[in-house]
Amino acid sequence: MKKFHEPSSKKNRGNGCSRNGLAKSETLLFLKTFLKNPSHVGALAPSSRSLADAMTDFPWLFEARTVVELGCGTGAITEAILQKIPPAANYLGIELDGRCIEHLRVRFPNRAFYHGSAAEMCKYLAEQGAGAPDVIISGLPWAVLPQEVQDAIISQVVQCLAPDGMFLTFAYVHARVLPRAQRLKRQLDHCFGEVKTSRTIWKNFPPAFYYLCNEPKVDNDWQE
């Protein structure tokens, strides 16, 4: 079983992913996506590098064999993941917005991105011939997702994740008091044997934190 660790002190491992001056264009794309469908995005700006590094700076990520990212957006966290996982690791990204998918496939041409719902994660893993993920990292806007969608995605996470795998998902500090955000925390506590809450990442807009979960309970019978 993997244990919770302090962030790793290892240097980033390059996978050929460079910013190349993309920050401004990505912010514009992210804003356009938000204005088109705010329920799919839930924020006005991409995740910061500070948040991306905080969510990916763990020793077990450097040894992961299969990693899934839910809600890739324009690739802020994707870049950090791909810089740290082994070059031979299997990566699968899932994103609902079509324009973001096109952007991701151009920016990371050697990685697999699926245009669809995170609620179909197990199907996409089977199509790719991948094993159970060692790590699942989510950038989904839980506070604005309908209850039934939230339930379906968490169910997939628990079903797909390796028994000793890790699930990380971030949330915004200001949205923590919202009913759906509070419900998510109760759901995580019910569906995982251990859930930890990170410190606040103030260098993010808006400020954010993340949940770090392990010991998935496949037979959890979650209802509320």
pLDDT tens for each residue of 161-212: 999 999 999 998 988 888 888 999 999 999 999 999 999 999 998 899 999 9
DSSP bridge pairs for 169 = 138, 211
Q: Pairing relation of β-strands 192-197 and 90-95?
A: unpaired
- Whole-number pLDDT of residue 206: 87
Residue ranges of alpha helices (H) inside 132-215 are 147-160, 179-191
- Whole-number pLDDT of residue 135: 98
What is the rounded CA–CA span in Å between residue 94 and residue 118? 6
Structure confidence by residue, pLDDT tens digits, 132-163 = 999 999 999 888 888 999 999 999 999 999 99
Kindly report which listed range (44-58, 105-119, 177-191, 202-216) carries the lowest average pLDDT score.
44-58
Q: pLDDT-based confidence at 219, cuts 50/70/90? A: confident
Is there a contact between 30 and 48 (Cβ–Cβ < 8 Å)? Answer: no
Task: Return phi, psi of residue 210, to 5°.
Answer: -140, 155
Residue found by looking up tokens 């996470």 in the block: 157
Residue 13 has pLDDT above 90, yes or no: no
What is the rounded CA–CA span in Å between residue 204 and residue 119? 27
Read off the pLDDT of each residue in 41-57 and give the average, rounded to a whole number.
Answer: 78
Tell me the three state secondary structure of residue 101.
Answer: helix
Q: Which domains are assigned to the chain?
A: 42-215 (3.40.50.150)
Q: pLDDT-based confidence at 90, cuts 50/70/90? A: very high
Read off the pLDDT of each residue in 62-66 and give the average, rounded to a whole number.
Answer: 96
C-alpha torsion sign, points 143, 145, 151, 155: negative
Tell me the three state secondary structure of residue 68.
Answer: strand
- Whole-number pLDDT of residue 187: 95
What is the rounded CA–CA span in Å between residue 77 and residue 71? 10
pLDDT over 70 for what percent of the chain? 80
Q: pLDDT-based confidence at 218, cuts 50/70/90? A: confident
- Whole-number pLDDT of residue 45: 53
Tell me the three state secondary structure of residue 150.
Answer: helix
Residue found by looking up tokens 């910013």 in the block: 19
Tell me the three state secondary structure of residue 82.
Answer: helix
